[in-house]
A and B are shown apart, each in its own frame.
Chain A
Amino acid sequence: MPRHDLHRFSRHFSSYTELRVQENTNVGITFIKGNNTGNTRSVMGGVSARVYQDGSWGFSSSPDLDEPMVRSVIRAATDNATFMNSRVKKGQGNLPQVQATGHADFATHKPRASQKVLVDFVKEIDAHIAATYPGLSSRTVSLSVTDMEKTLLTSDGSSAYSLTPRSLIYVILTVHQDGEPVELFESFGGRGQFEDVFSSPSELYEGIARQHQHLMNKAQGVFASAGVQMCVLDAELAGILAHEAIGHTAEADLVLGGSVAGALLEQEVASPLVTLVDFAHTALGSTCPVPVYVDDEGTPAEDAVVIRDGVLKTFLHNKETAAHFGVAPAGNARAYQFSDEPLIRMRNTAILPGKSRLEDMIASVDDGYYLVKPGNGQADSTSEFMFSVPLGYEIKNGKLGRAIRETTISGVAFHMLKTVTMVSEDMKWMCAGMCGKKQMIPVGMGGPAIKCTISIGGR
């Protein structure tokens, strides 16, 4: 529930102003080989103001929320904008005026679990793994819970409250093969507070069993053959592809900074099978992993169709870049901490499902790879991307073969997406994503499986 009424501060706004009170609460509990190495809780919150004057911005923040301090933060942000504007003199004029109200509270209605309950929950999972898989040389189980609570008021009259929680359990399993460690990572959970996401440790055991089987396969695995290969990328890889390789190049601040996408608007950049959307809050009838209803500039959040049927249709904007390009902003300006300024960020980026079945896609490959899990990823202003792949299998004559060891895939997204020949009918969201761009921020990434040609690292 909203705890702060910011409207009384609006009389202190002298230029375009965003006033935001935010609190991020994090809980972290870790067991490494049965040792409870971490048990922490942190609450970081405060107030920030951002002020715009004719193309220049000022920002200020403080952890103290008393009334004089809030006034002082507004004044400091205004002074900072004045300092910049008096020197830079951009003369850009006003930002587009938008007004929105929003209330999105994903707090649980169940009684809150104590820290002891959380510790015992993680401990029980760890004990299950130790008892069930004695051949493992190491195991790590950790719980990470984040609540992000924001209250916003803008001088345009937008006001919004949101509480967006995320609860994740990470499991890392390790075996030693020929004296060397081989590991596999899996995450469980997603949007919601712990009580709404997890009910019993045993609910994770089936997923952990699959993870363990994949690890055993990987320990016996082979190195991929380096070079350009026909691959089926499973849903999670398609999701990170959508985010890293396409989404970032379409962020308007990166376009202004030289992204290759700047020259490709309304051009064919992908197979007609590919439609890629940055969803605001609801996708295909369901609430997204990171729902955004009103962004941190007070803009009502709407879906942004980045690629429709293979054609690049739009960039992702904040108010300033929207004004530059003469379009309406769609709510992509987000900040991670109270002390962070909003940046252009993706929300829930996904390739839309197609009509093929995953089994048929694998069966159609004579010699290639089925790549299952993504690790980290990075993309470039050229749309050249790289993702690590900690889990994958060979495909030989349409059938899955041996597992492969860690590898990396890469390509130029706007070339590679033209090689997509099949898109699966199902869709899966990755709910544990964090995106780094000056600040870290939670994002959703999703997609179906896609069949394409791609460069793979190996030996």
Chain B
Amino acid sequence: MEEPRKIAGYARDALLKAGADKAQCLLAQSAKHEMNVDAGKLSLLRTTFDTRLALTALDGQRKGTSAGNQSDRAAVDRAVAECLGIARSSQPDEAHDIAASQPAATFKTGDEQPDLERMYFRLDELLQQIQVRHPKAVLRQAYVDFTHTRSYFANSNGVDFATHKGVYHGVLMFSSQEDGKVSSFNYTGFAVKDLDRPLLQCGSVDTLLRQSGEQTSTRPVHGKFVGDVIITPDCLGDTLYFLVRSLSDFAMVSGTSIYRDSLDQVIASPQLTIHSRPVAEEICDGYFVTGDGYAAANSTLLDKGVLKSFLLSLYGANKTGKTRSANDGSAWVIEPGTTSLEDMIKSVQRGVLMARFSGGSPSNNGDFSGVAKNSYLIEDGRITYPLSETMLSGNFVELLKDIRAVSTQRIDYGQAILPWVAASGVTISGK
């Protein structure tokens, strides 16, 4: 097999030779080792090898992309011809471009090979610890994988990046049973560089399993009221989704983003500062190169509630006349606040500790509604009981402004570091 870097360079050059004005190639080779648990028992060891060859050609400002997972010379030649054909079938757009020249670089993080025996040991240990600490819990499905990827990005402006990345991921989905009653399922995930710690100590695993055991008996709230919510770190990602979607290419190019003219304006509470830190040491599952082929850099999305950056690709930036973002988003790090979670709960007269939100995709204007899952009612400053059949509705644009506290504590998921956030003004309705 040819050296991957040479294949990427060959594909780029072949696109130019075939007539492309500009060309780029991403070649990624990955190996994944994944150990699975089903219905509480170790079940499957899965080893997959894959290749991704993604080509982009610009021809008269017409753009085409093709992708495949064969990388022998004949396959690359076919992909080159196909990619150029696709470009020539496109409509031209002046906004299409490829990344500008940057110094060549090689990025490396993590191990190259998994420790299979340790993966087995940690999963087996997790099952035993759950039996002891959380005897009501049933691990419906869980896996730990180690994925190693070698990626090469080359374009006709001289971009030449190599990335070697190895990382372990854990994903758990579980519920609890007691006296014939079943809790709602819950799930969480994390990324780690190594398996030095028990899995139960990673991310929010231990906390969520404990809460699951408390949730076999639930009640709806009575009636309807407007109250506070404390959004847990596991649920905060869902809340961020609206903000991220509104700042990204599709919403900005289509003109449906509510924040399209809000750069450097206050769009959230001054308590809220959000960074995207894909190349920070504290994020073990980040990335070094953007989808466009720029070296990724850490950035600040919101600084004390002020919008500091959109999440625009090169195309999105060219199309909207705004600045390309320093990264592709994710790797979120939200700065801790000054209120402890305990004090946050004490400050709520009537509201919900919102641990999972099962809701529809929010409207472009921020309206949302959905069901509070794995969540608790808070009354007079204390958690009273776990909820079921309780709906939450409100508006994310308003909710971001109505954040009144961010917790001092945060959960480190490896992919993100997130606190608890308290906000007001959410409609809570039960039976």
Question: Chain A interface (Cβ within 8 Å of chain B)?
Answer: 31-33, 35-46, 48, 55-64, 76-77, 80-81, 83-84, 87-88, 90, 114-116, 118-119, 123, 137-138, 140, 174, 180-183, 226-228, 253-254, 256-260, 263, 339, 341, 375-376, 378, 380-382, 384, 386-390, 405-408, 410-412, 438, 455, 457-459
Contact = CB atoms under 8 A, between A and B. Distances in A.
A227 B225 CA distance: 11
Contacts of A46: 50, 69
Given A35-B95, A39-B64, A380-B358, 20 more contacts: A37-B93, A61-B47, A80-B44, A80-B46, A88-B43, A114-B89, A123-B91, A183-B256, A226-B391, A257-B38, A257-B40, A381-B183, A388-B360, A388-B361, A389-B360, A405-B363, A408-B370, A410-B391, A457-B429, A458-B393
B360 A376 contact: yes
B389 A410 contact: yes
27 contacts: A31-B91, A37-B315, A41-B65, A42-B68, A56-B43, A59-B46, A62-B48, A63-B69, A84-B45, A87-B42, A88-B41, A115-B85, A116-B89, A119-B89, A140-B254, A181-B258, A226-B224, A257-B185, A259-B182, A260-B182, A380-B358, A381-B185, A389-B360, A406-B360, A457-B369, A457-B391, A457-B392
A257 B363 CA distance: 34
Interface in B357-394: 358-365, 367, 369-371, 373, 388-389, 391-393
A88 B389 CA distance: 39
Nearest to B138: A258
A54 to B, nearest CB: 12
A114 B64 CA distance: 14
Nearest to B87: A39
A455 B185 contact: no
A378 B46 CA distance: 27
B102 interface: no
Contacts of B373: 380, 384
B176 A258 contact: yes
Q: With a 10 A CB-CB cut-off, give which of A63, A64, A259 has the most chain B CB atoms.
A: A63
A44 B54 CA distance: 11
Contacts, number: 260
Contacts of A60: 46-48
Given A61-B49, A405-B367, A438-B141, A32 B391 contact: no
Contacts of B361: 375-376, 388
A61 B39 contact: no
B338 interface: no
Contacts of A45: 69
Interface residues of B, number: 81
A84 B46 CA distance: 10
B369 A63 contact: no
A408 B391 contact: yes
Nearest to A56: B43
6 closest A-B pairs by beta carbon, nearest first, are A388-B360, A257-B140, A457-B369, A36-B91, A42-B67, A256-B39
Interface in B223-249: 224, 249
A380 B357 CA distance: 12
A408 B369 contact: yes
B255 interface: yes
A81 B45 contact: yes
B107 interface: no
Interface string B139-181: 1110000000000000000000000000000000111110010
A39 B44 contact: no
B70 A63 contact: yes
B49 A62 contact: yes
Contacts of A44: 67-69
A138 B255 contact: yes
Given A257-B140, A408-B391, A263 B180 contact: yes
B140 A226 contact: no
Nearest to A405: B367
A35 B253 CA distance: 9
B51 interface: yes
A51 B27 CA distance: 30
A369 to B, nearest CB: 13
B93 A36 contact: yes
A40 B369 contact: no
A234 to B, nearest CB: 16
B90 interface: yes
A170 to B, nearest CB: 12
B103 to A, nearest CB: 29
Contacts of B140: 253-254, 257-258, 381
A408 B359 contact: yes
Interface in B97-129: 116, 120, 124
Contacts of A55: 43
Contact of A257 (B47, B175, B184): B175
Contacts of B389: 384, 410-412, 455
